[in-house]
Amino acid sequence: MILSKAVAPRAQESERDQAAESFDKILRELFLRGEDIPSGRSAAEQLSPVAAAHRILTNAFAMIPFGVYRKVGGERQSVDDETLGRLLRIQPSPGVTPFVLGKVLMSNAFWHGFGAVWNRRDSAGHLIERIPLPTDCCSIVKDAEGGVYWYQYNVDGFSRIFAARELSILFFETYNGVWGRGMLDLARETVAADALAQRYGRKFYQNGARISGIVEVDTDASPDTKTKVKREFARYASDDAFKIAVLDHGMKYTPLGLSQSDAQFIESRTFSVEEIARFTGIPKHMLQTGKESYDSNSQQRVNYVTDTLLPFVAQWEQQNGLKLLSRQQRSQGWYIHGNVSVLLRGDDLTRSQFYERMIRNSIYNPDECRALEEKAPIPGGLGQEFLISKNFGSLRSVVKGGDDNG
């Protein structure tokens, strides 16, 4: 049995756990007097910038359609393969849509460092379904003799070990291609600090948005009088922030501590949003912060697609090309491709500019752009002509050197 020879490579994980525990202990001693630091997934989900980043990234990745194509010379052709077409575009497994599979996959990668999909095959080796697996139920083990890594999943009492070739794996971040690092690893301190700030804000307002102070009297007050004044003033400060306290016998109230504005509470929460944006590569304006112009936001969205999403898309293309396609299919020029242009579908201006440039440079013809918009071809086959600059004359007229557009 391979399990009898397997050893779990836990050294790095143990070091990270010790560092995290040390950090949690310091924060508890400084701020919470022994309370646990909320740095796990359940606590992180309650922080608005983290929840927004998770939603934006998982939805964007899930929207990207993946298909099978073939390279024939310099031409790229769509491949009509019934099984792969169904699994990639229609139904990966019973009750699971491609969108749900992509979202679950990226969600696991976001939280735990990597997500995996089981490419299930029948006894004859034919691909029959694709099942997303929960990363939090996975242990990575290593064959002590062969040095091969295996993925062991334990779900509801059922255990199964997968070879890497059976799984398509998407990493959020990885340093060795085996272990992944997700938000809970990379941004533990940021998540914990933002949770503390959020807890501070809640306690601040629970206490009536008032800070403790000193009540001064001109004479020596008896212990009973001090207790009574303290009790009465605490009732004014905590029961209702808008009650008016009446002081007699020359009493004077002096507040202590810094106000919430002076403590830059709001600025600290803004900094947390910026930190999450840095960790995830999501522009600040998409996390509902920042004051950039419309043009700047549009460019940042393009940068988000090219710099943040495309590495995930390229990784998933290569994983699926290796795990779904046979060696013979790859030798015939088959490959998996994700179409990120769908992310521009909601932006009419950017999409129209994209189509114009594609047509102007003879990359697309008008009918191909109309097909992307789910429009019928131009009657008479006129939309099949490839256009090029020179007042959008046809490519044939430019080659002939004529001035006509036909």
* Domain locations in the chain as residue ranges: 1-203+258-337, 212-256, 345-406
Model confidence band, residue 20 (pLDDT cutoffs 50, 70, 90):
low
Q: What single-letter amino acid sits at 207?
A: N
Q: What is the DSSP letter of 57?
A: H
Furthest CA-CA distance within the chain: 108
Q: At what angle do helices 265-280 and 48-63 cross, to 10 degrees?
A: 30
- 246: which 2 tokens? 């009446």
- Looking at per-residue confidence, does 50 or 170 come out higher? 170
- 84 and 324 in contact (C-beta within 8 Å)? yes
- C-alpha angle 155-159-162 in degrees, rounded to nearest 5: 105
Distance CA 174, CA 116 (A): 14
- 114: which 2 tokens? 């990597």
- 118: which 2 tokens? 């089981």
Distance CA 233, CA 214 (A): 10
Considering just the CA atoms, what is the radius of gyration of the chain in Å? Answer: 30
Q: What is the DSSP letter of 174?
A: B
Which neighbouring-strand residues pair with 336? Answer: 68
Residue 231, CB half-sphere, CA atoms under 13 Å: how many? Answer: 6
73 pLDDT above the threshold of 90? no
- 393: which 2 tokens? 């004359």
Q: Which residue has the tokens 């600025």?
A: 267
Model confidence band, residue 68 (pLDDT cutoffs 50, 70, 90):
very high
Which helix or strand (DSSP H or E) is residue 318 part of?
A: helix 310-323
- Looking at per-residue confidence, does 253 or 334 come out higher? 334
Mean pLDDT of 190-214: 59
Distance CA 140, CA 152 (A): 6
- 225: which 2 tokens? 């009088």
Mean pLDDT of 318-329: 95
- For the chain, what percent of residues have pLDDT higher than 90? 33
Structure confidence at residue 11 (pLDDT): 38
> Of the candidates 96, 101, 137, 138, which has an alpha carbon nearest to the alpha carbon of residue 117?
101
- Looking at per-residue confidence, does 260 or 320 come out higher? 320
Structure confidence at residue 36 (pLDDT): 53
Mean pLDDT of 206-227: 64
